[in-house]
Structure 1
Amino acid sequence: MWYRRVQSLTEKTETMKLLPENVKVLFFASDCLEPYVEIITVKDSKRRLSLCSSGDSEAEEPEYQEEVENALPVLNNHSQLLDGQHLERLAVHMPARTQGYPWQLVYSTAIHGSSLKTLYRNMAGLDSPVLLVIKDIHKKVFGAFSSDPFKVSKYCYGTGETFLFSFNPDFQAYRWSGENSYFVSSNQESLQIGAGGGGFGLWLDADLYHGSSFSCPTFNNKSLSTQEDFTVRDLEVWTVQN
């Protein structure tokens, strides 16, 4: 199936007026379906584009970036690690499909203790992106946005929406480089995000106490923490409710 945008008529046309800037008219046709027209808003159109392949989602329009900057994530629970400034920085890099929905706290070491098994158990049945936030003993805040909830799996999973970030002290976001697809790998012993070149972009042990962060080809990132090996002070995982 293919589609094209129906062009707005110019002032020379006497029978129709120009379409509003926030509206798109899409014409659909294929060999097996009757042609039809669908009218949607520009916002809905961009939300659909975010569900396409990760490669396509990399080319974001400047106008859309401005919309995201003004769409801060709304947290349904109190966070000990995230404040308004953190959310403002992160919102720019969140995919459009997360915009307009509240975020729910799924796991917190302060509430649930330090256990990777508990983290997996709390995410059982989820089918939505998650935001992992860590504060180490040096009070540095960093983490990862994952397109998929964390789970025990024999295989790597996730999409190009996944990214690493650090407030160390200035905000840095490390998007998918395209060099490999080692987004998330997780088992009973550890959680790894980003890999290749002999190190993980972010690694946590089964007790969610010891971790490490190295440069990796998946995101071409720098170490997220002050030191490549770090100790977790607090950890939270949030998921979008849609």
Structure 2
Amino acid sequence: MNPFYRASEPNEDSKQPRKRPSFFNKILTGKSRSASPSASPPPVVPEPQSSSEQYGDENTDERPIKLHGYKPNTKRRLMDEELANNIRNLMPPRLQLYDDWDLVYDFEQDGISLNTLYRNSNPEYQLQKQKNEKQSKGYGDGVVKSMIVGDIQSSTTTSFYGLERKRPQGYVMVIQDEKRNKFGCYLNTNLRAVDNKRYYGNGECFLWKLEKYDASKLNHEKDSKKVPKHKPRYESRFKAFMYTGMNDNIIFSNHDFIAIGSSNGQNGLWIDKSLYKGVSYPCTTFGNEILNLHNSDSSTKLGTFKVIDLEVWRVGALE
């Protein structure tokens, strides 16, 4: 052996053993034993689907409204599902969730009386009536529980009637006159006799009417001579008049009349204390048309009517 021969010392890298990648490093880098040296393409991430694609369109459909309160022998019924849906679409979103509407006042079932209308529209009276109905059906335990809760609420409440309403409520008035015109209003609170000569209600209120029109005149022919003549075929369409913000004269009611909307001493809807005579003017509160007239009567400045039937509905739970 050559005495001058000297073995080359290994460098520092060769001294340390090569580390194998850990299992987690393989996952993070996307490498495995069977992976090829070339970089593998990133995994394909599927695009998120919308809720309608996952579950269908059934969640977007409106749930049907259930009308409660008509007696089996009630002949005149002003409210129907189509009208209720049209009104619900313009109500505050928090009230659109309620599918159950309750009839609180009706000419045929409750008699014609302004005081009865105010009494039945009182949520405290409605709650007590609901308790009595449950008690008559044998729900004694539920009545006792509700009475205890009611006592606790009445001691801490600050509401107008001494009743703390946990859930929102709205009220719909439907009127039919002697010409079978149908119109009314939506109110954010119940009607009541107010003696302080002040208006109440908020901008959620609106007036509405079902306008009659001749459907046989709806055509798209340019040459009227080619259009065959048809007999008038009258149908109705829903029209609403929302709060404009021009004034705050929304609701005024006492023992002599009910007035909804007012400007220059003229009301959008006015009914006397007998619940028989009424009048409708255009008013700036709602920018409304005359409720009991139609397009053909647009030249008229006011509309007087006689109330043949009237209903008041509550939307929202009492407790």
- Say yes or no: TM over 0.5: yes
Q: Per the alignment, do residues 158 and 218 of structure 1 end up closer, same or farther by CA in structure 2, a change over 3 Å counting?
A: same
The correspondence for 1:123, drawn from 114, 121, 124, is 121
CA shift, 1:165, in A, is 0.3
Match in the other structure for 1:151 = 192
CA shift, 1:124, in A, is 2.2
Report the AA paired with residue 103 of structure 2.
L
Match in the other structure for 1:99 = 96
Structure 2: distance between partners of 1:196 and 1:236: 26
For 1:17-96, what aligned pairs fall within 5 Å after superposition?
Answer: 70-78=62-70, 80-96=77-93
> Greater CA radius of gyration, 1 or 2?
2
More helix by share: 2
For residue 115 of structure 2, give the secondary structure of its aligned residue in structure 1. helix
Report the AA paired with residue 146 of structure 1.
L
Report the AA paired with residue 74 of structure 1.
K
For residue 85 of structure 1, give the secondary structure of its aligned residue in structure 2. helix
Q: Which has the higher contact order (CA 8 A, sep 6+)?
A: 2
More strand by share: 1
Mind listing any 5+ residue stretches in structure 1 that lack a counterpart?
Answer: 1-17, 23-65
Match in the other structure for 2:209 = 166
Write the deviation string for residues 57-84 of structure 1: whole angstroms up to 9, x where unpaired: xxxxxxxxx96x8245321133700222
Mind listing any 5+ residue stretches in structure 2 that lack a counterpart?
Answer: 1-46, 52-58, 71-75, 125-164, 213-236, 294-301
Report the AA paired with residue 91 of structure 2.
M
Q: Does 1:182 align with 2:249?
A: yes
Match in the other structure for 1:206 = 273
Report the AA paired with residue 254 of structure 2.
N
Match in the other structure for 1:233 = 308
Q: How many residues were matched structurally?
A: 183
Structure 1: distance between partners of 2:316 and 2:88: 16
Give the TM-score taking structure 2 as reference length.
0.53
For residue 281 of structure 2, give the secondary structure of its aligned residue in structure 1. coil
Write the deviation string for residues 36-61 of structure 1: whole angstroms up to 9, x where unpaired: xxxxxxxxxxxxxxxxxxxxxxxxxx
